[in-house]
Structure 1
Amino acid sequence: MKKPAIDYTRILNAVTYACDLGIIQLSDESESFDGRVLRVQDKELIHFANCSYLGLDTAEELKRGGIDALIRFGSSFASSRQGIGLGLNEELEALLDQITGYHTLVTQTTTLGSLSAIPVIVSSNDLIVLDHQVHASVQNAVKIAQTQGTQVSMIRHNNMSALEDVIQKQQNKYDKIWYMADGLYSMLGDGCPIEGMHELMDRYSNFHCFVDDAHGMSWIGKHGKGYTLDRRPLHPQMVLVMSMNKAFGVCGGVLVFPTAEARQLVKCLGSSLIYSGPIPTAVLGSCVASAKLHLTDEIIVRQNVLYALIKFFREKVYAYGLPLVNHGFSPIFYFGAGSDHNSYHIVKKMLDSGFFVNICNYPLVPKKNAGVRMSVTVHNTFDDIENALSTMSALINELEDEGKFDRETIYKNFRALEVV
């Protein structure tokens, strides 16, 4: 399935319109940030677009870890890690090995992790099969692999039948076939079909998976090992990339390999690990502090608080009959809007009512799938959730009364059924 060309003119017009409407590219004017309340143009907004699901971004342990590293090692260790790096890198990776149970390699960002790993682990005689909704950072890294001769195709979202069809038809033409997907998808909050992926890897020896589990890390699994590893162990034919910039509470990427040899290969040849600067010193100190916290019962306490908030959010969504298009259990909620105009209207009115939420239009989502994205963190309260969802319900009811909102069409476009 060939991906259509990006309509940059439409994107620019949409972004410009949203900027003029005052719903994107805003600045928090607060003198300090508590994770819950933003201040925009002297107005307080409850933050429902925060991806620090466990609230570790404001944890005292992480702040102290960053300050300590800054004092001891300075603001920057200005050398490529390929030559020499701070010992904090190895300390962090040893802790991440304990968290995941496998061989880890830290990178400056998740995006740079994919850019380092994919062109190295994929050869010119491999085929990459992209999930239609895999994150843009993976797709960008794949473009580099393409310049090396790797062939690329695409299938519809989470379609294991179509994937196996590709494997059966192409397995004798290529050394390896790679399926690249998200563990937990950042827009809709749905997960990859990990069971089906494992079955295919067990059945076909040259089938491999590269999974971006950026939004799955920390908030779920023992020691916060993440959405994908919580469901199945790391397959010998799988590589993961995760993000410390979401629920982990800091910045940076984490590559997870099934063997020490695969890790060393990317460490030696990965472009951003050779040519780019390291993780900033203070950030690295906070990363170590977060990893240590993950290995204590504190992570369980925070996970349980988040689970209760997610459960309450879901209950209220169904009570209000809101157009949720995915019903998996995660801190990410996506509501279909039916049109770009509706999504602009809802986001603007939510902001006017004191709630900051994300607008999701093309190219973040397919052209027919405009909507509103909300995320829940432990910074939020039950009252925040009740007030935000009751406000959204009233806005959608108004659009419905005006004949501008058609639930049946929305669910059809998302291939989802309304929950009764």
Structure 2
Amino acid sequence: MSGVVAEHKGDGLMEATDRTFINMCSYSYLGLDSNPNILEGSLSALRDAGVLNSSTSRVRIKLPLLEDVESSLSELFSVNALTTSSCAAAACAVLPLLAAGFFTEGQSPLMVFDRSAHFCLNLMKPICADETQVLTSPHNDLNFLEDCCKKNPRVAYIADGVYSTGGVAKIKDLMGLQDKYGLFVLYDEAHGLSIKGKKGRGVVLEAMGGLNANTMIIASLNKGFGGSGGAIFFEKSINSSRLLCFGGPLSWSQRINTAGLGAILASIKIHASSEIGILQDRLARNINRFDQLVPSAAIGDGLPIRLIPMVDEVHAISAAAALMHEGFYTSPLFYPVVARDSPGLRIMLRANLRDADLVRFCSAVNSVL
């Protein structure tokens, strides 16, 4: 189901033709996509720079604004940060280098992709296989992963910090494997950034306390963060100049446009202020409220993604249609997005959902279960 829509009020209310509805598929977990300061940041950057795109690779010519964004982002999260046009572009830049041993002292590691890793990661498997052996592990199966570590001198594990269909990586346990075997871990933190942690540093960094030399993160700056594009977070032992030279899209792709960079700077200011904690608390209250009213296997995980099981694909589609009739847009998921026997209705919760709307939505969900 798709259509031309106009957004109103910044609370997820949308309009298509003569119908209004609340978008329950929005990734803007903190409601920052319509934050007035972020919008003004975009406009201010455009006025100051006088150009939307540089139309030249960043390794040749770049605006001072790009350096300001990356240094501010690095300082905010106590990492080294490079921005990319998207989280998928970050995966495209980093994974072939990881396969070639770029981050593992020149030794190509066995690459183990979690079965539930995001499509933008799995898409790179054939390219990585040109450099090294690639395996797929059962979801969150650390016994499988440890067995790989015992049999191979270097192993790299590719996973989501927060999975797009719900759930998290076993971050603390993975840190134990890092200490024991030198396991390298690449996390996709597209859905975890901003919603948790000090200054919104995300689920992975909050659990780890900070990056180590055997961990990299790719992240979306377009979801909870409320800006645009993506980013690569890495530890100081990794040479950023070499990463820029050899990291595919980092050298030959366009940068985030000027409006997006301005939005990121404005969001950084919010993340560095007390406002981020207020927004995180609002999100947590809405998650708890939903969990009180709708049963799910994920109750209590504190994450904004809920996948409600459906009987089959027809049930998922009909449930989504019924909810749309009640004024709520949701996303039915089935194979190949999820396993063949696990169709569901994906719901994304946000800080700026009004309680009355959330209660009404939960009532509607229960009516279609």
TM range, normalised to the smaller chain? Answer: over 0.9
After superposition, where does 1:364-383 map in structure 2 within 5 Å?
364-383=337-356
Alpha-carbon distance between aligned partners in 2 of 1:31 and 1:47, rounded to the nearest angstrom? 10
Alpha-carbon distance between aligned partners in 2 of 1:88 and 1:35, rounded to the nearest angstrom? 30
Q: CA deviation at 1:325?
A: 5.2
SS of aligned partner of 1:247: coil
Counterpart amino acid of 1:177?
V
Deviations 1:176-235 (A, max 9, x none): 311000000011x21100011000000002x21110011000111111100111111323
**2:322 is the alignment partner of 1:340:** no
**2:275 is the alignment partner of 1:303:** no
CA RMSD of aligned residues (A): 1.5
Q: CA deviation at 1:323?
A: 4.3
Q: 1:81–1:260: structure 2 CA closer, same or farther, 3 Å change rule? A: farther
Alpha-carbon distance between aligned partners in 2 of 1:261 and 1:239, rounded to the nearest angstrom? 10
Alpha-carbon distance between aligned partners in 1 of 2:297 and 2:320, rounded to the nearest angstrom? 15
The answer for the alignment partner of 1:413 in structure 2 is none
Q: 1:122–1:326: structure 2 CA closer, same or farther, 3 Å change rule? A: farther
**2:34 is the alignment partner of 1:58:** yes
Tell me if the contact between 2:24 and 2:328 (Cα under 8 Å) persists in the aligned partners.
yes
Alpha-carbon distance between aligned partners in 2 of 1:214 and 1:31, rounded to the nearest angstrom? 23
**1:153 aligns with one of 112, 135, 155:** 135
Q: 1:342–1:31: structure 2 CA closer, same or farther, 3 Å change rule? A: closer
The answer for the alignment partner of 1:211 in structure 2 is 187
How many pairs align? 361
Q: CA deviation at 1:165?
A: 1.2
Q: CA deviation at 1:142?
A: 3.1
> Which sits farther off after the overlay, 52-61 or 258-267?
258-267
The answer for the alignment partner of 2:12 in structure 1 is 36
Q: CA deviation at 1:265?
A: 2.5
Alpha-carbon distance between aligned partners in 1 of 2:216 and 2:321, rounded to the nearest angstrom? 40
Tell me if the contact between 2:10 and 2:31 (Cα under 8 Å) persists in the aligned partners.
no
Q: CA deviation at 1:356?
A: 0.5
Alpha-carbon distance between aligned partners in 2 of 1:192 and 1:262, rounded to the nearest angstrom? 27
Unaligned runs of 5+ in 2: 102-107
**1:126 aligns with one of 95, 101, 109:** 109
Alpha-carbon distance between aligned partners in 2 of 1:154 and 1:58, rounded to the nearest angstrom? 39
Tell me if the contact between 2:288 and 2:300 (Cα under 8 Å) persists in the aligned partners.
no
The answer for the alignment partner of 2:167 in structure 1 is 190
**2:21 is the alignment partner of 1:67:** no
> Which sits farther off after the overlay, 112-121 or 256-265?
256-265
Q: CA deviation at 1:60?
A: 1.1
Tell me if the contact between 2:41 and 2:263 (Cα under 8 Å) persists in the aligned partners.
yes
Alpha-carbon distance between aligned partners in 2 of 1:31 and 1:356, rounded to the nearest angstrom? 13
Q: CA deviation at 1:97?
A: 1.2
**1:389 aligns with one of 354, 362, 365:** 362
Unaligned runs of 5+ in 1: 1-23, 397-420
Counterpart amino acid of 2:311?
G
The answer for the alignment partner of 1:87 in structure 2 is 64
Instruction: Provide TM-score, normalisation by structure 2.
Output: 0.94
Q: CA deviation at 1:260?
A: 5.0
**2:327 aligns with one of 341, 354, 376:** 354
Tell me if the contact between 1:324 and 1:336 (Cα under 8 Å) persists in the aligned partners.
no
Alpha-carbon distance between aligned partners in 2 of 1:338 and 1:198, rounded to the nearest angstrom? 37
Q: CA deviation at 1:81?
A: 0.3
Q: 1:33–1:108: structure 2 CA closer, same or farther, 3 Å change rule? A: farther
Q: 1:128–1:235: structure 2 CA closer, same or farther, 3 Å change rule? A: same
Alpha-carbon distance between aligned partners in 1 of 2:236 and 2:247, rounded to the nearest angstrom? 16
Alpha-carbon distance between aligned partners in 2 of 1:280 and 1:35, rounded to the nearest angstrom? 26
Alpha-carbon distance between aligned partners in 1 of 2:198 and 2:8, rounded to the nearest angstrom? 32
Q: CA deviation at 1:261?
A: 3.0
Alpha-carbon distance between aligned partners in 1 of 2:9 and 2:127, rounded to the nearest angstrom? 38
Tell me if the contact between 1:236 and 1:258 (Cα under 8 Å) persists in the aligned partners.
yes
**1:222 aligns with one of 189, 198, 205:** 198
SS of aligned partner of 2:14: strand
Q: CA deviation at 1:127?
A: 1.2
Deviations 1:303-352 (A, max 9, x none): 111111111111112xxxx3445652101111010211110111110111
After superposition, where does 1:160-179 map in structure 2 within 5 Å?
160-169=142-151, 171-172=152-153, 176-179=154-157
Q: If you compute each CA radius of gyration, which structure gives the higher value, 1 or 2?
A: 1
Tell me if the contact between 2:90 and 2:231 (Cα under 8 Å) persists in the aligned partners.
yes
Tell me if the contact between 1:102 and 1:259 (Cα under 8 Å) persists in the aligned partners.
yes
Counterpart amino acid of 2:361?
A
Q: CA deviation at 1:381?
A: 1.1
Deviations 1:156-188 (A, max 9, x none): 11111111112112x14xxx311000000011x
**2:127 aligns with one of 127, 138, 144:** 144
**2:159 aligns with one of 168, 181, 187:** 181
SS of aligned partner of 1:261: coil
Tell me if the contact between 1:293 and 1:299 (Cα under 8 Å) persists in the aligned partners.
yes
> Which sits farther off after the overlay, 239-248 or 322-331?
322-331
SS of aligned partner of 2:192: coil
